[in-house]
Amino acid sequence: MRAVGTERDRLTVPQGLAALSLDALASVAYGPEAIVLVLAAAGARGLDFTLPVTLAIVVLLAALTFSYRQVIAAFPNGGGAYAVAKAHLGRRVSLIAAASLIIDYVLNVAVSVSAGVAALTSAFPSLYGDRVVICVAVLALITGANLYGVAESAKVLILPTVVFVVAVFTVIVVGLLRSHPVTAPTPVGPATETVSLLLLLKAFASGCAALTGVEAIANAVPTFRKPRVVRAQHTELALGGLLGSMLIGLALLIGHFHVGPNSTKTVLAQLTEAAFGDNAAFYVVQFTTVALLALAANTSFGGMPVLTSLLARDHHVPHVFALRADRQVYRHGVLVLSGAALVLLIGAQGDTQALVPVFAIGVFIGFTISQVGMVRHWRQQRGPGWRGRALLNGIGAVLTAAATVVELIAKFGKGGWLVFLAVAVLVLLFEAVHRSYAGIGRALRVGEVPGPPVQERSLVVVPVGAVNRLTQEAIGTALSLGDEVRAVTVVHPDDDEGPSESHVRQAWDAWHPQVPLTVLSSRSRSLTRPVVDHLRELAAAGEHERLVVLIPEMHLPHPWQRLLQNQRGVLLDRAVRRHTDAVVCRLRFRIELPR
Amino acid sequence: MRAVGTERDRLTVPQGLAALSLDALASVAYGPEAIVLVLAAAGARGLDFTLPVTLAIVVLLAALTFSYRQVIAAFPNGGGAYAVAKAHLGRRVSLIAAASLIIDYVLNVAVSVSAGVAALTSAFPSLYGDRVVICVAVLALITGANLYGVAESAKVLILPTVVFVVAVFTVIVVGLLRSHPVTAPTPVGPATETVSLLLLLKAFASGCAALTGVEAIANAVPTFRKPRVVRAQHTELALGGLLGSMLIGLALLIGHFHVGPNSTKTVLAQLTEAAFGDNAAFYVVQFTTVALLALAANTSFGGMPVLTSLLARDHHVPHVFALRADRQVYRHGVLVLSGAALVLLIGAQGDTQALVPVFAIGVFIGFTISQVGMVRHWRQQRGPGWRGRALLNGIGAVLTAAATVVELIAKFGKGGWLVFLAVAVLVLLFEAVHRSYAGIGRALRVGEVPGPPVQERSLVVVPVGAVNRLTQEAIGTALSLGDEVRAVTVVHPDDDEGPSESHVRQAWDAWHPQVPLTVLSSRSRSLTRPVVDHLRELAAAGEHERLVVLIPEMHLPHPWQRLLQNQRGVLLDRAVRRHTDAVVCRLRFRIELPR
């Protein structure tokens, strides 16, 4: 969800399609391939089932499209699986939905990046050996762009989306019109198993990866231009229509050209080459695919911070994830997402089809939860025609639940268990964080009116070095703040080059600022230890109720000049805050230098 | 220089040899090879000059040994080239000495690591392809050990040093007693040029890399046990004798076996194999060489912080380099050294002999400067027998100056210019830092007695969130510190989920802490911006002379619980200190949570 600005900045239908549906549309780059890869085990006979399996997936897509059309109407403030489940299915189920969504965001990044790199290496096979390095580089690029806040504009995204969709349809039409392929695709190998129901279910389960991303529009209704619900619904229908047509078209073309799987050339690349030959058009399609998949990976970086900020507001993840304003704080979500995707990319050695089988599991858990939640929603509302609506979402729920079960059976051994484990671990973490925040709330007595604030007697301790303008400023400030002020300094009697105690005392007495100086003599070379020990003694003596340490520092205007400052202030600040209960104040004394 | 402890912790002669001469002794692993590599261009006829060239180097070593024996007596507090030049040749020359020393420290790390890895790959040729990766790993290991403060004890170093020296002498004796090599070394290829004076000078210049490190003892006289000067002088003589004998012995053995250069097997490895055969003894020598070279690289990590801390005390590098006490501050020197060595190692692709030719240049600049300085020293002192001493150092100065000129002529095109450039850039940087510190000193009026500190009227501003125990504590502390206290809070009217202005006011009025609350309404999502703007307005209004911001934060005991804290405090602290002159105080409120 992008930052909500003025009405003019919000999305129209084509912009919504580009900004929110790009990862769903881009999944045609790996979805059909996932089907072919499974069916090829049964040879040419198996590949004949590409179209039927694809049609089953498109039926599911239709159910999802109409179901989500209703979600949009029911949750105009953004109806992600987490929000729907929170409203209608309880906290625990909502956390399962959130965990599966987070896993999807991570998998979307990993799958999109590796599929994009596969499209690139299909065009330039010599790069195939370096695919993991290229994947990491692309991921680093996307991460960097998000860390430094390159906001993509929906308008900018329209062009690559349109080019990609047009290119895929052109491949389909040109290909189907040809009686023979220009360049022969990889033939299907001999069958190693027969066409069984399990094989078809596996193909269906893997191909469902093509449906990932269809929920994104429903999550982001507030980003549409008015009338928001209508525009979002139109966008959802357009997405369903486009994605369904592309999937059916590609399935027809796969059957038409008898395309088999090839580890170094994607199915989409083979179809493109078969339709156009190895010419400029082929490279245009490949480059568009690369660009679109990189942008598809990028959509996770937009979605994950919204989800984590919702979770943070509900105290399920650390509150830093809810700090959306200051750019550096977006970092948390971006870095977590990027780090997890990096692990997956390296673990899978940049192989898309090693990741795709598990991708759909998390997505379908989320689909099922939101559909079930919607049935509950209509039953509670009981508005006009609620039965029809509940039935539609109910059909969606049954189909997605069935698909989830199929996926689990088909892929549990192939990494599906890992998704389960990850969901369980995430839910336990959410719960642990929630418990901790509840404890903090009790400690802060949130909800109660606290007693009146108590004014106490204060002692300000000022660690000083030499006597100079900075010291003058620091003691003046301390006098303005405290009921009593004491200066402290540390001397190292073992250090021949440093100042001696008598020398320091002499300089102080020459100044006579009416503030007592305590000279701490230390044999250890540590600067912070003697000060911390002294503060603890003062606190233990208990003469003052409020102990404050005022650390004076010089401040130089230019960043490179700041290298000239020593880090005493930083070290002292850290040590005092770690080891004592004193309030730490830091005073900056600005120094203007020439240049 | 290690931390100076009690007298018992200080060095005896054998310990001094291990702790301070290890890198000089280890240079026999690459010095003779550098000579062979140059002379082999003239074929077998060229290699016959290995012994004469080595003898010339040993003459230079003798001159240096006796010269440094005098430096030790004259500068018992550590007489590195920088100290000698500072005392007798002026600031500018001392900075040139310091720059060349820093370059040496870096080159010593790079050369020792790559030579150690070459010893390893000589034993295991299959690792040769991965030598750059291994170099980086070894460097990372040494860096890590130094960052985490693994203090090496001189006693621990004695064993590998003794084993190495004994091993090298055993190779020499066993080898010279054999009439035929057990394993034939690489034959010398055909001559591509004739034996010319330039070739011999080049061989001499490259071989001088074997003399690096002989100045280390003179730099560290205070680390010896009493009588310090005598022990240090004995150590210097022992080093000169051992190193000279090893160099001559190895030169004899090279001639005896007619060893030619080999890119994957070091000359020392070839000699060892020729003397012992490919058996356990060979591997023992190789492993000892690897260990000794890793330790030799480590000596730079001991020496560089001492030099940079001296430079920092003289205001030539940032003062952080002088902060030796807190472990994390050693980091600056360690990381700069390690980063520079990394660049060299990768740039040279882990090839020792690409680095050795320039290594000696920096060292000899330092040698020459300190010898010239010593001549001045004796002339000023005019003690009994000063002419003899001045003559000895004068001979040293002439020889090292001649060697420096030879090296420059022989290697200017082969990277020598880079050393020159680096020295020039470092000297300019030292000067720039010095000028800046002079400016800071003027701004702080260092040396003057400042006026009396001025007590002023203070306003403490407390940014608050909700009303709870933390807020109570913060307002109480603010009342203890300021003449006036005001609370501020930020609301975002565009944010449906956040608290509204009226809601915040209501909670505040219910508490009625007798402190006014300013509600800042902001359309931007930034938390810090409105607070900073408000502080600037308060400062511009000029009603208060001392503006203080008190930032309350909760503090949780366990590190993982700290992940639960939001970073508002950090962000606000940074923003306020960057954009205003307000004093920033941070109050920690400790919260104890179960677990």
The pLDDT tens digits for A335-351 are 888 999 999 888 888 88
B6 touches chain A (CB under 8 A): no
Contact B455, B544 (CB under 8 A): no
Query: Which portions of chain B are predicted below pLDDT 70?
Result: 1-9, 79, 148-154, 323-330, 494-498, 525, 544, 594-595
Residue B434's DSSP bridge partners are: none
pLDDT of residue A330: 57
Q: Which two tokens stand for residue B400?
A: 């090292």
State which residues of chain A have pLDDT below 70. Answer: 1-9, 79, 148-154, 323-330, 494-498, 525, 544, 594-595
Check if B545 contacts A (Cβ < 8 Å): yes
DSSP A549: E
Q: Which residue of B has its CA nearest to A326?
A: B526
pLDDT at site B2: 40
Q: What is the pLDDT of residue A154?
A: 66
Contacts of B588 in chain A (CB under 8 A): 577, 581, 583
Which residues of chain A are within 8 Å of residue B585 when distances are taken between CB atoms? 548, 583-586
Q: Give the Cα separation of B326 and A59 in Å (integer).
A: 67
CA B204 centroid distance within chain: 28
Whole-angstrom CA distances from B429 to B81, B96, B370, B425, B435 are 19, 11, 22, 6, 10
Residue A325 has a pLDDT of 47
Q: Are strands B458-463 and B546-555 parallel, antiparallel or unpaired?
A: parallel
pLDDT for the residue B589: 83
Q: Which helix (H) or strand (E) holds B553?
A: strand B546-555
User: Which residues, 6+ apart, have CB-to-CB distance to A26 below 8 Å?
Assistant: A112, A115, A164, A213, A289, A292, A293, A295, A296
CA A80 centroid distance within chain: 15
Secondary structure class of A19 (helix, strand, coil): helix
> What pLDDT score does B325 carry?
46
Q: Identify the pLDDT of residue A491.
A: 86
pLDDT of residue A1: 37
Q: How far is B94 from chain A (nearest CA, A)?
A: 19
Amino acid letter, A440? I
Angle between helices A197-207 and A50-74 (to 10 degrees): 50
Closest CA to A561 of B318, B339, B583: B318
Tell me the count of A-B CB pairs closer than 8 A.
235
Residues B229-240, buried b or exposed e (16+ Cβ, 10 A)?
A: bebbbbbbbbbb
CB contact under 8 A, B320 and A451: no
**DSSP secondary structure code for residue A234 in this structure:** H
Per the CB < 8 Å rule, is A587 touching B592?
no
Chain A residues touching residue B583 (CB < 8 angstroms): 477, 481, 550, 585-588
| Helix, strand, coil share (%) of chain A residues, nearest 5 | 70, 5, 25
To the nearest whole Å, the CA of A273 is away from the closest chain B CA by 39
Contacts A450 to B, Cβ<8 Å:
467-469, 471-472, 511
Q: Which residues of A fall within a CB distance of 8 Å from B577?
A: 555, 586, 588
- Which residue blocks in A382-468 are alpha helix, DSSP H? 386-411, 417-443
Residue B488: predicted pLDDT: 92
- Report the distance separating Cα A136 and Cα A113, nearest Å: 9
Put simply, the answer to whether B446 touches A456 (Cβ < 8 Å) is no
Which is nearest to A106 in space by CA: A430, A418, A369, A428? A418
Q: How far apart are CA A330 and CA A151, in angstroms?
A: 13
Q: Do A571 and B329 touch (CB under 8 A)?
A: yes
A313 touches chain B (CB under 8 A): yes
Residue A325 to residue B527, Cβ atoms within 8 A: yes
Q: Please tell me if residue B560 touches chain A, with a CB cutoff of 8 Å.
A: no
Sheet holding A484-491, edge to edge: A517-521, A484-491, A458-463, A546-555, A583-590, B583-590, B546-555, B458-463, B484-491, B517-521
Partner-chain residue, chosen from A439, A475, A593, that has the shortest CB–CB distance to B436: A593
Please report, for residues A156, B39, B123, the alpha-carbon distance to residue B188 in angstroms, rounded to integers and kept in the order given: 66, 10, 21
- Measured in whole angstroms, the distance separating CA A415 from the mean position of its chain's CA atoms is 21
ipTM for the assembly = 0.72
Burial B394-427 (b: 16+ CB within 10 A, else e): bebbebbbebbebbbebbeeebbeebbebbeebb
Inter-CA distances, B523 with A4, A292, B431, B464, B529, Å: 11, 34, 49, 18, 11
Cα torsion A248, A249, A254, A256: sign: positive
Nearest to A82 by CA among A70, A71, A73, A66: A71
Let me know: does B80 contact B370? Beta carbons within 8 Å: yes
Q: Write down the pLDDT at residue A328.
A: 42
Minimum CA–CA partner of A564 in chain B: B318
Q: Which residues contact A407 (CB under 8 A, 6 or more apart)?
A: A205, A208, A360, A361, A364, A416
Using the Cβ of B4 and the Cβ atoms of chain A, whether some distance falls under 8 Å is answered with yes
The reported pLDDT for the residue numbered A148 is 66
Q: List the single residue in A with minimal CA-CA distance to B529.
A: A326
Record: contact B450-A328, CB cut-off 8 A = no
Mutate to test the interface with A, among B221, B446, B481, B551 (most CBs of A within 10 A): B481
Pinpoint the alpha helices (H) of B444-512. Answer: 469-481, 501-511
Q: What is the pairing mode between strands B484-491 and B458-463?
A: parallel
pLDDT at A349: 85
Smallest CA-to-CA distance from A35 within A59, A64, A55 is with: A55
Packing angle between helix B417-443 and helix B91-123, nearest 10 degrees?
130
Tokens of residue A430, six digits: 């959410």
User: What is residue A89's DSSP assignment?
Assistant: T
Chain B residues within 8 A of A467 when measuring between CB atoms: 449-450
In a 13 Å sphere around the CA of B595, the CA atoms on its Cβ side amount to 9
The answer to whether B581 faces chain A, any CB pair under 8 Å, is: yes
Question: What distance in Å separates residue B177's CA from the closest CA in chain A?
Answer: 53
Q: What is the pLDDT of residue A355?
A: 84
SS3 content of chain B, % helix, strand, coil (to 5): 70, 5, 25
Rg over alpha carbons for chain B, rounded to the nearest Å, is 32
Candidates B453, B513, B561; nearest CB to A475: B453
CB B522 within 8 A of CB B530: yes
Q: Report residue B546: phi and psi, to 5°.
A: -120, 110
What is the distance between the alpha carbons of residues B102 and B304, in angstroms, rounded to a whole number? 7
Query: Measured between CB atoms, does A481 come within 8 Å of chain B?
Result: yes
Question: How far apart, in Å, are the Cα atoms of A292 and each of A162, A232, A288, B220, B366?
Answer: 10, 22, 6, 63, 59
Assess A550–B contact: CB distance below 8 Å, yes or no. Answer: yes
Q: Which of B515, B455, B460 is nearest to B482 (CA)?
A: B460
Tell me the pTM: 0.69
Q: Which residues of B61-94 are buried (b: 16+ CB within 10 A; e: fewer)?
A: bebbbbbbbbbbbbbeebbbbbbbbbbbbeeebb
